[in-house]
Structure formats: structure tokens, C-alpha cells
């Protein structure tokens, strides 16, 4: 089925470790987004991309980096994880007529 796939689904990191979250889409959408959602809160935009090779900062970009080398993939990197980055991370893609499609999320715990 067409959609947005996030890997991994769960991860536990130690403070200072690094990791990369992968978002893959097969809908040929131009726009891709990374959000984080803390318990009981709404989603906050970390970084986004309006096309292959482009990235831009969202509301809460500090401590994260992103890359969009291929249109279908959007990577979110944490270079040195901190407990404050414990959250659920959602990737979304966007197109004009159908709203935004979200992945199922990555639950990250930093200890």
C-alpha cells in the first residue's frame, strides 16, 4: 500500500549517542516534514523539505539535522542525543489536494 514508512519504530539511546531516523514515501510527494510529539502535547515541526536536495528549519530544529538526497527519503539525525529529545517522532508528506499523510511514528527514549 502507498504511504509513509518510518524506521525504526522504537529505539532507546544513551545520552551522547547518535542515530538516524528514516522516512520513506512512495507517493511522489514533494513536501516532507519531521515533527516531534511530547506526551499530551501537539506536534511541533523540527525540519522540513520542499523538494529533493532542499531542507529548512521548523519550530524546534536545535539538536537535529536532516537530509533529502532522494525525493522519496527524508532522514532525521541526532548527533548527540539528550534526554530532552525523548519523544515520538512523526514524518509527514504533503501534496496539494489530499492533505498531509503521516507515518506511524518512531518512539525514541534517551536515557
Contacts with other proteins by CB under 8 A lie at 4, 31, 33, 35, 41-45, 48, 50, 56, 58-59, 90, 92, 94, 96, 98-105
For the purposes of burial, counting CB atoms within 10 Å of the CB of 20, is it exposed (0-12), middle (13-18) or buried (19 or more)?
A: middle
Instruction: Give 13 or 92: the residue with its C-beta nearer to other proteins.
Output: 92
Instruction: Give 33 or 64: the residue with its C-beta nearer to other proteins.
Output: 33
Residue 87 CB, shortest distance to other proteins, in Å, is 13
Residue 50 CB, shortest distance to other proteins, in Å, is 5
Residues 6+ apart with CB under 8 A from 22: 6, 7, 73, 75
Instruction: Give 57 or 70: the residue with its C-beta nearer to other proteins.
Output: 57
Q: How far apart are CA 73 and CA 22, in angstroms?
A: 7
Residue 71 CB, shortest distance to other proteins, in Å, is 15
Instruction: Give 14 or 99: the residue with its C-beta nearer to other proteins.
Output: 99
Q: How far apart are CA 77 and CA 108, in angstroms?
A: 12
| Max CA distance (Å), the chain | 41
Amino acid at each position: 500500500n502507498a504511504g509513509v514508512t518510518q524506521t525504526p519504530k522504537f529505539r532507546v539511546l544513551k545520552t551522547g549517542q547518535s542515530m538516524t531516523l528514516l522516512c520513506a514515501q512512495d507517493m511522489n510527494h514533494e513536501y516532507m516534514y519531521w515533527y516531534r510529539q511530547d506526551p499530551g502535547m501537539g506536534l511541533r515541526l523540527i525540519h522540513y523539505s520542499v523538494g529533493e536536495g532542499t531542507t529548512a528549519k521548523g519550530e524546534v530544529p536545535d539538536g537535529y539535522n536532516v537530509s533529502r538526497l532522494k525525493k522519496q527519503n527524508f532522514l532525521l539525525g541526532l548527533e548527540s542525543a539528550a534526554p530532552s529529545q525523548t519523544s515520538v517522532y512523526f514524518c509527514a508528506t504533503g501534496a496539494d489536494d489530499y492533505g498531509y499523510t503521516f507515518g506511524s511514528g518512531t518512539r525514541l527514549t534517551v536515557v
